[in-house]
Amino acid sequence: MDDGRQRAEKRREVGISLRSPAQNAGTENPASVGTTPAVHAEALVKHYRSRAGLVEAVRGVDLVVEAGEVFGFLGPNGAGKSTTVRMLTTLLSITSGTVRVAGTDVTREPDEARRRIGVALQEAGLDPRQTGRELLVLQGRLFGLATRDASARAEELLELVELQDAADRQIKSYSGGMKRRLDLASALVQEPDVLFLDEPTTGLDPASRLTVWEELRRINRLDTTVFLTTQYLEEADQLCDRLAIIDGGRIVRQGTPAQLKAELRDRQGLASDPTLDEVFLDATGRSRSRVAGDVQEVSA
Q: Which of 138, 152, 252, 262 binds other proteins (CB under 8 A)?
A: 138
H or E element at residue 297: helix 288-299
Q: Which of 85, 130, 89 is nearest to 110 (CA)?
A: 89
The residues in 96-115 that bind other proteins, with binding defined as CB under 8 A, are 111-112, 114-115
Counting contacts by CB under 8 A, is residue 149 touching other proteins?
no
Residue 151 engages other proteins in binding (rule: CB under 8 A): no
Report the nearest approach of other proteins to the CB of residue 45 (Å): 14
Reference 246, options 37, 73, 55; nearest CA is 73
User: What does the DSSP assignment read for 216-234?
Assistant: HHHHHHTT-EEEEEES-HH
**Is 201 among the residues that bind other proteins (CB under 8 A)?**
no
Q: How far is the CB of 50 from other proteins (least distance, A)?
A: 12
Task: Please say whether the beta carbons of 44 and 99 come within 8 A.
Answer: yes
Whose CA is closest to 79, among 121, 40, 46?
Answer: 46
6, 98, 122, 151: which one binds other proteins (CB under 8 A): 122
Check: CB of residue 28 under 8 Å from CB of residue 34. no
Interface segment toward other proteins; rule CB under 8 A; list 119-127, 230-238, 244-252, 282-290: 119-127
| Residue from 123, 205, 234, 277 binding other proteins (CB under 8 A) | 123
Q: What angle do CA 273, 281, 180 make, to 5 degrees?
A: 95
Number of residues that bind other proteins (CB under 8 A): 31
Instruction: Point out which residues bind other proteins (CB under 8 A).
Output: 48, 89-93, 111-112, 114-115, 117, 119, 121-130, 134, 138-139, 141-144, 170, 186
